Amino acid sequence: MALFPAFASAAEPGEPPTGSSEGSRKELDWLSNPSFSTEDALLLHQRATEVANLIPEKSPLISRTTSKSELSGESDTDESLKQSSKKRKKKKKKHHNYKKTKKKTKGDSSSSESDRDTKHIKDKAEGSGRNHEKEGAANLDKKTSNLTSNCFVWLDDIQAFTAETFRIDKKPDPANWAYKSLYRGDIARYKRRGESCLGIDAKKQCITWDSSATKRKQLQRRPERYFTKNNVKMLNTDGIPVCNKSSPSDPTAFIPVFQMEPDDPSDTTDMNPLGIYDPSTTVWLQGKGCKSTDHEPVNMQQTIQEPGININSILMTKVEEHNKKVRENPRDINAWLEFVSFQDELMRGPSPYASKGEHEVRRKSLKLILEKKLAILERAIESNPSNVDLKLARLKLCTEFWEPPALIKEWQKLIFLHPNNPELWKKYLLFCQSQFTTFSVSKINSLYGKCLTTLAAVQDGSMVSHPLLPGTEEAMLAIFIQQCHFLRQAGHSEKAVSLFQALIDFTFFKPDSVKDLPTRGQVEFFEPFWDSGEPRIGEKGARGWKAWMHQQEKGGWIALKPDDDDDDEEIDEDQEIKDKSLPKWHIWLDFEYSREARHWLPWRPDKTKKETEEDCEDPERQVLFDDLGPSLIHLSNPDLQRQLLYSFLQFLGVPCTSKLFPSNLYFAMDENNIFESVLSDEKPLTSVSFPLSGFNSIGHMDTMLRGRHHIGHYKEGEEFIQNVFHVLFLLFSGKEKSNLSICWLQYEISKVVQCLEAKNKKKVKAQGRKSKKLAKNLLKEPDNRNHLSLWKLYAYLEWLLGNIDDARKVFDTALCTAGTGGCKSPQLCSLSLLYAQLEAELLESTEGAVISRAVHVLTKLAESGPYVPYSGQVLSVNVLKARKTYEHALQDYLSKTPVSDQDQVSDANQLVNLVGCYALFQYLTVGIDAAVLIYAQTSEKLEAPGPQKCENTGDSFGIQNFPTALEAITLLHTNLLRFHMKISVYPLNPLREALTEALKRYPSNQSLWRSYIHIQRKSHSASKARRFFDGVTRSTNSLEPWLFAIQAEQLRKKLTENVQRADVGEIHSTIPETGLTNRIVALFEHAVQSENGTHCPLLWRMYLNFLASLGKKEKSKGLFYKALQNCPWAKVLYMDAVEYFPDDLQETLDLMTEKELRVRVPVEELDLLLEV
C-alpha cells in the first residue's frame, strides 16, 4: 500500500511505473515505504483491539507505545542518527577525555533497544522468501513480547478506556536505598502560585508548604526605594500626556475603559470541562492559532517603546530649537544662557542620541555636564566677545575646574577689559573676599580702594578708553558701604568709622575752590586736613574741611581753652580680671568683647594733654590716610548724599526709615536678632519693626550663646552719636532736619524697647528718663514744635514706659494743635492711627468698642474739625458720617494720579494711613469682616494697573508705583487679624492665606515672616508650612525664607523636646514628628548652597550653633572650617569657634592673626594679666 494514496500509481512497490523514465521514478522513490506490510498491520490492529477489551478486567496499563510501522519506518533514520552520534562522540572525546567511561555506559544502555530493532529488521529482509503467514505470526509474537516488556501502548489505540491511566515501573532503582529522596533531575519542575491546592476540602483539609528557601530569597531582596538607580531614572523621565486619540479637539474627553464580559461558566466544552479557561486558551488547547497573536507582540513592543520614543523626540526637538535660536540669532544672550541651563534637563533624562533599541547606560558625571556647558559658553563668547554676563557664567563654571590662583588671574583679565562695569567689580570683590587661601584683610581693603579709584576715574572722564555706564554713582556708594561692613566684620571698626567720617567731610564740607578738580585732585587737598589733627565728624568741636581751609587761608585757627566741665574719663574696667577661676577661653572672650564695645572709635592724640602718636597702647587703633584715601568718591546726587548719612547712622545702630542696598548686604548679615518679636506678639497692632535687623551695629560682636551684653553704646559711643546729630542739624533745615530728629528719637525708643524685652525695670526707668529728656529738647526746637511725627513718637515713648495718662495728654495736645486738616493731612492721619491702635489694644473684647476712645479719635479725624478730647460717648450720627467720609476719601486717593515722584511717595504714605484708619474704624464699629473687605478692595485696586499713565515715569498707576504702599497695607491687614484672634475666637485660615499671599509677593519682609512662624508654631501639622517654605525658596533668591524655615523647624524641635522631657509621668506625645534633626540639617545644607546663603555669616553661625547643640564636636569643627572657606572675614565665626572648641583657642587666634583679622587681646597679654 502506498504511503500517499494519491500517488499510488506512481510509487507502488514492486511495480515499475508505466510510461515514465528512470529519472522520474527515482524522484518519486521517497513516496514509497518498502518496509510496510499490509498483513502485519492488520494482525497488529487485531491484537491491539483484543488487549483493549481485556483492560477493564485486569490492572490498567499506562503509556504510549510505538507501532510496528513507526519502528520499521524509523530504521533508516536510526542509521543516520547513529553515524552522526558517533561523529559527535569522537569530537567530545577530544575535549572531555575525563568523561570517557560515563559516556560509554550511557551510549551502550541507550542504544541497546534500537540495535535489537535494527537487527530484527535486517533479518526480516533477508528471509523474504518464507511463508507470509508464518512470518507474520512470528513477527507479531515478537512485537507483542516487545510491547509487554517495554510497557508501552498508545492511549489513542485503547478504545474502551474508563479508569485512570498510570505507568507501573517495576525496575528497581538502587539509588533510593542510598539517598533520602529521588534525584532532583527526575522530579518535574513547577512554580506554585499561591498557597492553595485544587481538589481538597478547605474546611477539613489543609496543606502546609515547606517554603523556607523561597522565604529566605524574598527576605534578601528588599523592595526598591525611590532613590535607587532604576527608580531615579524612571522619576527623571517626563510623563507622556494621556489623551483620547478619537477626539483630539475636545480637551475634556476622557479615555473609555472597555470592560470584557467574562464567559458564562456553564458554557463548558471537551477542552474546557470546568469552564475556567478564557477563549484564547481554549482555542490554543484545540490546536488552533489565535487571530490576534501575530499582531499582539508588535502592539506590545510599540506600547513599550512609545514613551521612550516620545521622550527622546521631545528632548531632540528642544535641542533643535535651542540650536536654531543661537544659530539664527547669535547675539541673543538669554538664548545662550537658556541653552546652558537646558543641559541639566538634558542630562537628567535618557540620552536622545542612543540608537533605537539600545539601552545606553551612562554615568551622569558632573564633569561631563560642566564641560558641555563650558563648550557652549565658549561658542557664545566667540559670537559676543564684549558681553560680561557670558564671561561671568564661564568663570562661575570654571570654579569647579581651576585652582584659586588661576581663577584670580582670569578675573583680573576680565576686570582689565571692563574696568567701568560696577556690577562686575562687586562680584570680583566678593569672589576675592571669599577665597580663604589667598585672603587677607589688607589685600581686600586695598582692592576696594583700587575699585573705587578706578570707577572715580571713569566718572571724572580721566579714563578715556571706557565710557561711564548708567548707575555707576549708586554702585560706587554701595561698594563703599560694602567695604565699611567688611572692615566692621573683620574687627577693624576704627577704619570703618574713619571711612564714613572722611567721606561725609569730603561730601558735605567741600571747599568751593576744589569742586572743579577731579576726584584724585580733591583727595590730595583733603589729606592735609585729615592729618592736621582737627576734630572730625562726631568729635567735639568739629567744624569741617571747608571751615578749616577757609581759616588756613586767613592764617590758622585760634587756640581755644578746653572746657573744664568735662566728666572724668571712664576707668577701663577691662584692665583687671574679676574672676580668675574662669577658664582661659572664657576670660579671653570677655576681654575681647569688652574692648570691641569700648574701643571702636579711632584713637587720636589729645593735644591738650600733650599726647603724641607714640602714646597709643594699640597701634591698630590709629587710622592712617593711606588706608582710606583711595576709597573717597565724589557724590553729586542729593539723594545719594542723604543715603550716605542714613547708612552711617544705621552703621552706628540708629534705626532709619528705609533699608539700604539689601541685595548687596546679605554677606554683612551676622546677628541673630531677626527672629525676636516679644512686643510684636504682645501688641500686634503697634509692633515696632526697625529695618536692617540681622546686622550687628558697630561695637557689638556677640557670640551666639552669650547674646547681646549691653543696650546701645558706652558713654563715649553715645557722645559720638550725639555729636554726629548736632553736626548734621547744621547741614540741613526744614523737613530733612525733622527727619533726622525722628531718627534720633527712634534710636532712643529702640533702646527702651530692648530694655522692655530684657524685662529689666531699672534699665527701663533709667533709659526712659534719658529718652524723655531728649524728646522734650527736640520738641522745644522752633522747627519741631508743630511737627506731628515727633509728637507721635514722644507720646508713644510715654505709652511704652507705662505712663498711659501722660501719653493721652500728649496725643490730645498734638491733635488740638494740628488744625483741621482731617483725612487730607498725612501726619494727622498717622498720629490718629497710632492713638487709635494703642487704645484698641487696651480693649479686652470688641463688645462696647463703638463708644470707645479709639472710635472717638477716628470719628474726629473724619469730621475735619477742631479736636475735642474724649468725654465718654460717641454719637451714632457721627459714626455714620465718618464712614461716608472715609469711603469717599479712599475712592479719591485710589483714582488720583501722582504728578511727580515726591508726590507719589507722600500719596503712598497718606494712602496707607487712610486705609489703616478706615479699616480700624470699620473693625471697631461693624466687625472684622468689614475691615478685611476694605483691605481686600484696596489691595486689588493697587495690584491691578489702572488705565492712566504717569507722563514722567511712563508706568501705570499700579503695583509698580506703589510697592511700598501695598506692602505696608498688607502688614496692617495681617496685624489686625492677629489682634482679633488674640481677643476673640476666629479661624486661622484667613490670616494664614493673607500671610502666604503677602510673603509670595514680599519674600524678604521679616515682620511678615515673624508673624507667619508665630501662627504656624501653634499648628499641629507642619506639612502646609513646609510646602509653602519649599515653594517660596524655589521662586526667590531672598535669604529670609531659608532663615525662617530653619527657625520654624528649630522651634518645632524645641517644643517636641520640651514635651518629651516634661517630668509629669507618662507622656503620650501628640506631635507626629520624627527626623526633625535631619530635616533641619538638610535645610541648612540647601540654604548654604544658595547664591546669597553661601557668603552669609549669620547662616553659617546658626548652622554651627545647631550642630554644636547636638554635641557633634567633630562635625561642628569640620563645618567651622567649611564656613571659613566661604566667609573668612567674619570675626564672629572665630569667636563662636572659641566658645564651641575651647581647647583650640591658640590655633584659632593664630588663624585670625594669619588672616589679619583684628585681635584686640593677644594671648601674651592675657597670660600677663593672669599672672598679676
Residue 790 and residue 745 in contact, taking contact as beta carbons nearer than 8 Å? yes
| Closest CA relative to residue 1069, chosen from 1078, 1060, 1082, 1058 | 1060
Q: Is residue 632 within 8 Å of residue 507, measured between CB atoms? A: no
Q: What is the pLDDT of residue 500?
A: 92
Would you say 425 and 416 are in contact if contact means Cβ atoms under 8 Å apart? Answer: no
Please list, in sequence order, all residues whose beta carbon lies within 8 angstroms of the beta carbon of residue 1048, skipping any fewer than 6 positions away: 1013, 1016, 1017, 1022, 1025, 1029
Burial of 768 (0-12, 13-18, 19+ CB in 10 A): buried
Per-residue pLDDT at 751:
86
Looking at residue 664, its pLDDT comes to 59
In this prediction the pTM is: 0.72
SS3 string, 789-835, reads HHHHHHHHHHHHCCCHHHHHHHHHHHHHHCCCCHHHCHHHHHHHHHH
545/131 Cα distance (integer angstroms): 152
DSSP code per residue over 369-387: HHHHHHHHHHHHHHH-TT-
Q: Which residues contact 315 (CB under 8 A, 6 or more apart)?
A: 346, 349, 352
Low-confidence stretches of the chain (pLDDT < 70) are 1-32, 34, 51-52, 54-166, 210-221, 236-269, 289-312, 348-365, 555-578, 607, 610, 613, 657-664, 677-681, 688-693, 707-709, 897-906, 944-963, 1061-1074
DSSP code, position 181: S
Say whether 956 sits in a helix, a strand or coil: strand
Q: How many CB atoms lie within 10 A of CB 923?
A: 24
Q: Are 1138 and 1148 in contact (CB under 8 A)?
A: yes
Alpha-carbon distance of 1155 to 1149, in angstroms, equals 10
Residue 101: predicted pLDDT: 43
pLDDT digit string, tens, across residues 526-579: 888 888 888 888 888 888 888 888 887 776 655 544 444 444 444 444 556 667
Query: What is the pLDDT, as a whole number, of residue 954?
Result: 33
Residue 353: its pLDDT value, please? 54
